[in-house]
Structure formats: C-alpha cells, structure tokens
C-alpha cells in the first residue's frame, strides 16, 4: 500500500482537526514566517501523531514564500518515493499548474480545500451514517407485508430463493446474515414453515 502525505498550508488553512486525519497518513505542517504563535492544543494534537508529524517553518518572508517551500518538499517526497500519494491542503489556486504537471507525469498529487475533501467518507460509511437503524421486528414486518402482497403462485418456494428475493426487496441494503435472521423469525412466528427444503406460507 502506497504512503499518503498530507501537506498542510497552515498560513492559508489555519487550524484543522488533526484527529480527523486517517490512521497511517503522514502530516507535514508548513508555517509562514509571520506566524509567531500556534494554539497549544493544536500542537499537542500534532505531537500525538509522533513520527507521522513533520513541521516546516518558512525560512523568510516574501510573496508565495510558503508555497515555494511546499513545492520543494512535495518534490522531495516524490523523489524519495514516487508512488507516494500527496495531498496539498490549501485554498491557494496557484498550486493547480504544478499539480497538473505532476499528474501528467504519472504522480499521485491533488489539492483539497478541507479535510473532508482530502479524505471523503466512503459510500458505505455515508450509508451507515445517514440510514436510520432498523429494528429486527421492523424488517420482519416489512418482509411479511411484501410477501403477503405477492401472488401466492409467485412466492419463492425454497429458503435460498426467498433469501434472494428479500435481498433484492431490501435493495441490497441488508446483509445476507440479516436476511437469514429475518427468515428465521418468520419461521419461529409460524408465518412460514419449512419441510424437506420447501417453504409453506400460512398467510
């Protein structure tokens, strides 16, 4: 797995929530010469990253001085490990030509305005976060209502077929284990019976 380095333009972005940085990601914080103080709690969070944390102070003032430092270290990281994925956390648009040039040359480099842009949640994480938790009984009632509305001669006659139909009915949002548990509850309630591999419906 390739290394990921987050290069933070602290002068441009300001304080960020370092606890939101995914495990394994290295963080390089770039401070401008005019920045004399950094919030104590922020530095404490940064130091907790241990070897994953690096800080760079711009060696002098001037227009785009910090940007040049970031560009230099970006090149240094990619020279040491060309497969490294580098993310520049900055709202400065001046990095765009450099990033485009590096991408054309085959490097994995991009910019982000926020940590969420840098590390967007995976679709599965978003679904778990946004979808309301369903009680087992609710799933059973839903399945029962759906099956009752189906023509009797079109209802699945084997457990395997029933599981496949329920999985499709729930739009694949429930795991196979959940589907099997729902079928078990329908059997336990007497709504279904199973004999010799065949399902019988009692509704």
pLDDT in tens, the chain (203 residues): 568 999 999 888 877 888 888 888 999 989 887 776 777 777 788 888 888 888 888 776 777 888 999 999 999 999 999 999 999 999 888 899 999 999 999 999 999 998 888 888 765 544 444 444 445 567 778 888 888 877 888 888 998 888 888 888 777 677 888 888 888 888 888 888 988 889 998 87
If one counts the domains in the chain, the total is 2
Sign of the alpha-carbon torsion through 86, 87, 92, 97: positive
Do 73 and 161 lie in one domain? The reply is no
Do 22 and 98 lie in one domain? The reply is yes
Considering only CA atoms, which of 31, 33, 39 is closest in space to residue 73? 31
Do 91 and 164 lie in one domain? The reply is no
Do 13 and 65 lie in one domain? The reply is yes
Do 112 and 31 lie in one domain? The reply is yes
Percent of the chain's residues with pLDDT above 90: 27
**CB of 115 within 8 A of CB of 43?**
no
Do 145 and 183 lie in one domain? The reply is yes
pLDDT at 189: 80
pLDDT at 143: 82
Among 68, 93, 120, residue at a domain's last position:
120
143 CB neighbour count, 10 Å cutoff:
22
145: domain range?
A: 126-201
Report the C-alpha gap between 99 and 105 in whole angstroms. Answer: 10
- Token pair 């104590």 in the structure block, residue: 40
Do 116 and 178 lie in one domain? The reply is no
């Amino acid at each position: 797995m390739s290394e990921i380095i987050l290069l933070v333009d602290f002068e441009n972005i300001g304080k960020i929530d370092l606890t939101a940085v995914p495990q394994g990601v290295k963080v390089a914080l770039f401070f401008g010469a005019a920045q004399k103080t950094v919030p104590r709690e922020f530095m404490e969070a940064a130091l907790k990253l241990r070897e994953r944390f690096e800080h760079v102070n711009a060696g002098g003032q001037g227009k785009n001085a910090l940007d040049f430092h970031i560009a230099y270290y970006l090149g240094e990281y990619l020279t040491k490990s060309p497969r490294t994925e580098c993310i520049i956390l900055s709202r400065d648009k001046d990095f765009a030509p450099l990033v485009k040039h590096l991408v054309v040359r085959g490097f994995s480099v991009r910019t982000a305005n926020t940590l969420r842009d840098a590390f967007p949640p995976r679709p599965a994480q978003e679904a778990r976060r946004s979808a309301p938790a369903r009680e087992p009984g609710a799933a059973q009632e839903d399945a029962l209502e759906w099956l009752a509305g189906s023509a009797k001669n079109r209802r699945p006659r084997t457990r395997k077929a029933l599981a496949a139909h329920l999985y499709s009915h729930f739009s694949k949002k429930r795991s196979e284990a959940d589907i099997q548990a729902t079928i078990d509850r329908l059997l336990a309630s007497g709504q279904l019976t199973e004999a010799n591999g065949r399902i019988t419906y009692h509704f």
